[in-house]
Amino acid sequence: MRFSKSLVLITLSALVISFAKASDPSPLQDFCVAIGDLKNGVFVNGKFCKDPKQARAEDFFFPGLNKAGDTNNKVRSNVTTVNVDQIPGLNTLGISLVRIDYAPYGQNPPHTHPRATEILVLVEGTLYVGFVSSNQDNNRLFAKVLNPGDVFVFPIGMIHFQVNIGKTPAVAFAGLSSQNAGVITIADTVFGSTPPINPEILAQAFQLDVNVVKDLEAKFKN
C-alpha cells in the first residue's frame, strides 16, 4: 500500500499533537508526592474545586491593594500577594497578582518564580530592574530603568530583581502566569536553608572563605 506525502505529514502531525496533549500538567506547588493509600491522599495539584452552584462573588474578590505594604525590613520592600490563597476563584485559571512597595533605595532582591512568567508595571517612582538568562545563554543581564507607566517582563524561571533608585517611595503591580507562582529568594534559599548547606560546599561554589559563608549563614538563619 502506498502512502502520499501529504497523508504521512498529516499522520505525523496528529501524532505530535497527541503527544503534546498527553504531557503532564504543570505543577501548581513545589511538589506533589505520590501516595498508594488513597485514604491518606489529602492534596491535589492545586486546590479542590467547590461545587460551581455554591460559588459566590466573594470567591472572586480581594480588597485592599490600594494600601501600601510595610517596607520597614532589611530589604526595604514589601510584596502583597493576591493568589489562589487569597482569591479561591483563581483556582485553575493560571493567573495571580502582586503589589510591590519599595522604600527609597529598597529592593526586591534577586529571586525566581519557578512556575510563572511575570509582567510588571511601575505606577510610582523609579526602578532599576533586570533578569539574568540561563547558563546556556551565557548568563546575560537584561536590565532597564523604569519610570511610571513602563512595563517589563521577567520570563519564567529567570533570576530577576527590582531596585528603587529614587529618593521617594515606588509602587509597582505585577501579573504572574500561575495561580501559585512560588518564589525562591536566592540569598535566603542558599544561605538560610533548613538544615543549612555545608559551608565548605558554598565556599567552593561562591569562591569565598569558609568563614565568610558561616557568617552569611548566621545572618540568614531562619
Beta strands 151-154 and 141-146 are unpaired
Residues 137-144, mean pLDDT to the nearest whole number? 98
Better pLDDT: 6 or 212: 212
pLDDT of 20 > 60? The answer is no
- 200 annotated as belonging to a binding site for a ligand: no
pLDDT of 80 > 80? The answer is yes
- 113 annotated as belonging to a binding site for a ligand: yes
Residue 53's pLDDT is what?
84
- 160 annotated as belonging to a binding site for a ligand: yes
Nearest C-alpha neighbor of 177 from the set 119, 109, 99, 111: 119
Q: What is the dihedral of CA 174, 163, 132, 74, to 10 degrees?
A: -100
Better pLDDT: 221 or 129: 129
- 217 annotated as belonging to a binding site for a ligand: no
**What sign does the CA torsion over 93, 107, 151, 138 have?**
negative
Query: Which residues are CB-contacts of 166 (< 8 A; sequence separation ≥ 6)?
Result: 104, 125, 126
Rounded distance between C-alpha atoms, residue 210 and residue 127, angstroms = 34
pLDDT of 35 > 80? The answer is no
- 108 annotated as belonging to a binding site for a ligand: yes
Hey, what amino acid is at 83? N
pLDDT of 15 > 60? The answer is no
Residues 210-222, mean pLDDT to the nearest whole number? 94
Residue 107's pLDDT is what?
98
